[in-house]
Homo-oligomer: A and B are copies of this chain.
């Protein structure tokens, strides 16, 4: 694939093209090595295909980068009847701190769906999405392969209450009083903060702490997207 690439590159440069993309199946990876001698680098790769790019334009590359963030989502399942919230202690962490069950979003999975799925997998409790409570951004995240992490905590409403937790992932799982979770040192700073938020919401109304979600149609794809923001007061109808 080397000779042909040389000829094509000269032609593309002459035509004023600013960038070249190459899709290389993993079985033909020797072509990626050949392309690299012409300056191509990996843009991204997944499954059985790599995508290489070469910037031909003036100055620094203005090619858009690939995905930079993994999305982790935890679910704070609040039982409003007794002010308790579902918490777990991870099996594989050094300090046994209480936290909300959660995990990484699968590709294409909505934030709320991740929270509901992870809560079910870890604790056996079924729940439904209510709102988004907090967002943490962290770079060079351990376990993110040098990339960044967005950690989102959602408020969920329980549909079932019996705990049947995953012993592979969790050491303990309990319904714990929010007041106790807000006070204990045996938790993470973010969990403690969100416990205080939830306690405030339980006392003053969850509209004081929620970001609510709305689905809107995307113009170009016909698919739906999810928009989260603080609720606007109802507008008077005229």
Contact = CB atoms under 8 A, between A and B. Distances in A.
Interface of A: 26-33, 36-37, 40-51, 64-71, 104-108, 110-111, 132-140, 142-145, 147-148, 150, 189-190, 193-194, 196-197, 200, 208-211, 216, 218, 220-221, 223, 225-230, 232-233
A85 B50 CA distance: 43
Nearest to A35: B26
A135 B73 CA distance: 14
Contact of A233 (B40, B133, B190, B200): B200
Nearest to A190: B227
Contacts of A218: 138
A68 B28 contact: no
B136 A225 contact: yes
Contacts of A226: 136-138
Which 3 A/B pairs are nearest by Cβ-Cβ distance? Answer: A45-B45, A42-B45, A134-B229
Contacts of A139: 108, 110, 223
Contact of A68 (B67, B190, B193, B221): B67
A89 to B, nearest CB: 16
Nearest to A217: B189
A105 B221 CA distance: 23
A135 B136 contact: no
Contacts of A150: 69, 71, 150
B232 A200 contact: yes
Given A64-B104, A107-B148, A211-B230, 5 more contacts: A43-B45, A43-B46, A65-B104, A71-B148, A142-B221
